[in-house]
């Protein structure tokens, strides 16, 4: 079982337009309302592909109830913790050329008791040998070491822990010794405090996170592919997107794909992650890909003897 924890879930509305023009009245060619939050999306992607998963999340009144209804409509198993604050809403404007503009609300402030209730629910629902995935931004006012505290509690129960977050929360979580962290290039650069201009820079930064406590570091690089750094060394993969529609949620599908194939080894897991992420980019809104959307041939893992020149190439398109 892969359990996800989303401390700051959302309702995500995506509007598709030909081109975003400031100060103009625009008509959307399509719109989508989806349950949102990184952990929620990971669970949605896993379930869409037949992998057992459950989402733990705090839900407030109004939008929170609507979020739960949307998840129920997708047959997503949830463990909800009632909170007083209003669940946030996010808006994404997706242009026809694939450009995405996001407007995210900060989300509600959760009381210490509410935060403890979510953590307690996650620990109680976790299974030894399984995974708990801690995803996304922390709610406003939450302590920066909250994920680090949860990593220690969950790992002590014999459960593997993955973390997908950024900023101080990521750095503190790394020091707690998670089994996996999944930053993108920007988040990794922030974590090590310097720009990352090549894949070699990314590898060196990922190795620093391993030295600081993370067992595996999985770095998504957007159109430049992805890199896995673990005890077996460095694995590099690429993918091809034919018709991009929305990048929102693609990183979550990427992480879900990796976890789904983790026990098959790093190379297989990285290839699966890339193919799932590639499929998500070609879907509207935050729709998660299912088997009919995923093309394993869209991703490939590069041979070790071909990496030297590639690692030195300047990175482009890692946003």
Across 10-19, 94-103, 269-278, 302-311, the highest mean pLDDT is recorded for 269-278
Strand ordering across the sheet containing 100-104:
30-36, 10-17, 88-95, 100-104
Q: Please return the burial class of 104, using the count of CB atoms within 10 Å of its CB with bins 0-12, 13-18 and 19+.
A: middle
Please state, in angstroms and rounded to a whole number, the distance separating the CA atoms of residues 31 and 313. Answer: 38
Question: Domain 2-312 maps to which CATH number in 1.20.140.10, 3.40.50.2300, 3.30.1330.10, 3.40.1190.20?
Answer: 3.40.1190.20
Mean pLDDT of 230-246: 89
Statement: residue 204 has pLDDT above 80: yes
Helix (H, G, I), strand (E, B) or coil at 231: coil
Q: How confident is the model at residue 97 (pLDDT cuts 50, 70, 90)?
A: confident
Please state, in angstroms and rounded to a whole number, the distance separating the CA atoms of residues 112 and 143. Answer: 9
Going by C-beta distance under 8 Å and a sequence separation of 6 or more, which residues neighbour residue 193? none
Statement: residue 309 has pLDDT above 70: no
Residue 319 confidence (pLDDT):
47
Q: CB count, 10 Å around CB of 112?
A: 10
Residue 306 confidence (pLDDT):
60
Going by C-beta distance under 8 Å and a sequence separation of 6 or more, which residues neighbour residue 211? none
Statement: residue 316 has pLDDT above 70: no
Q: Long-range contacts made by residues 97-102, C-beta under 8 angstroms, separation at least 24? A: 97/19, 98/244, 98/245, 98/246, 98/247, 99/20, 100/246, 100/247, 100/248, 101/20, 102/248
Q: Residue 251 to residues 28, 126, 218, 225: CA-CA distances in angstroms? A: 25, 23, 11, 11
How would you classify the pairing of strands 30-36 and 10-17? antiparallel
Q: How confident is the model at residue 308 (pLDDT cuts 50, 70, 90)?
A: low
Q: Is the pTM of this model over 0.95?
A: no
How would you classify the pairing of strands 88-95 and 100-104? antiparallel
Catalytic residues: 252
Helix (H, G, I), strand (E, B) or coil at 30: strand
Any idea where the domains of the chain sit in the sequence? Answer: 2-312
Q: Please return the burial class of 253, using the count of CB atoms within 10 Å of its CB with bins 0-12, 13-18 and 19+.
A: buried
Mean pLDDT of 197-222: 96
Statement: residue 124 has pLDDT above 50: yes
Residue 98 confidence (pLDDT):
82
Higher confidence at residue 311 or residue 113? 113
What residues pair up with 95 in beta bridges, in sequence order? Answer: 17
Statement: residue 317 has pLDDT above 60: no
pLDDT averaged over every residue in the chain: 93
- For the record, the structure tokens of 14 come out as 């995506």
Statement: residue 310 has pLDDT above 70: no
Q: Please return the burial class of 225, using the count of CB atoms within 10 Å of its CB with bins 0-12, 13-18 and 19+.
A: buried
- Nearest residue to 178 (alpha-carbon basis) of 127, 216, 205, 126: 216
Helix (H, G, I), strand (E, B) or coil at 244: coil
């Amino acid at each position: 079982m892969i359990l996800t924890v989303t401390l700051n879930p959302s309702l995500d509305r995506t509007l598709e337009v030909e081109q975003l023009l400031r100060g103009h009245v625009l008509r959307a060619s399509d719109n989508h309302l989806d349950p949102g939050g990184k952990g929620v999306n990971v669970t949605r992607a896993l379930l869409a592909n037949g992998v057992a998963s459950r989402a733990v999340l705090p839900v407030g009144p109004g939008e929170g109830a609507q979020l739960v209804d949307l998840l129920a409509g997708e047959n997503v198993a949830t463990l909800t913790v009632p909170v007083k604050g209003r669940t946030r809403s996010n808006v994404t404007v997706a242009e026809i050329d694939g450009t995405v503009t996001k407007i995210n609300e900060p989300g509600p402030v959760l009381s210490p008791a509410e935060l403890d209730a979510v953590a307690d629910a996650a620990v109680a629902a976790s299974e030894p040998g399984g995974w708990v995935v801690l995803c996304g931004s922390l709610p406003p006012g939450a302590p920066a070491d909250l994920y680090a505290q949860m990593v220690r509690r969950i790992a002590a129960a014999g459960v593997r822990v993955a973390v997908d977050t950024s900023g101080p929360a990521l750095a503190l979580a790394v020091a707690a010794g998670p089994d996996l962290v999944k930053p993108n290039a920007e988040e990794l650069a922030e974590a090590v405090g310097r720009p990352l201009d090549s894949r070699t820079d990314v590898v060196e930064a990922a190795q620093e996170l391993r030295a600081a406590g993370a067992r595996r570091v999985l770095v998504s690089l957007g159109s430049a592919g992805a890199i896995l750094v673990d005890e077996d060394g460095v694995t590099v993969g690429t993918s091809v997107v034919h018709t991009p529609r929305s990048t929102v949620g693609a990183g979550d599908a990427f992480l879900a794909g990796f976890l789904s194939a983790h026990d098959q080894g790093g190379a297989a897991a990285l290839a699966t992650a890339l193919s799932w992420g590639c499929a998500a980019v070609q879907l509207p809104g935050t729709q998660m890909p299912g088997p009919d959307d995923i093309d394993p041939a869209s991703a490939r893992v590069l041979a070790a003897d071909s990496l030297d020149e590639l690692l030195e190439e300047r990175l482009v398109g890692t946003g």
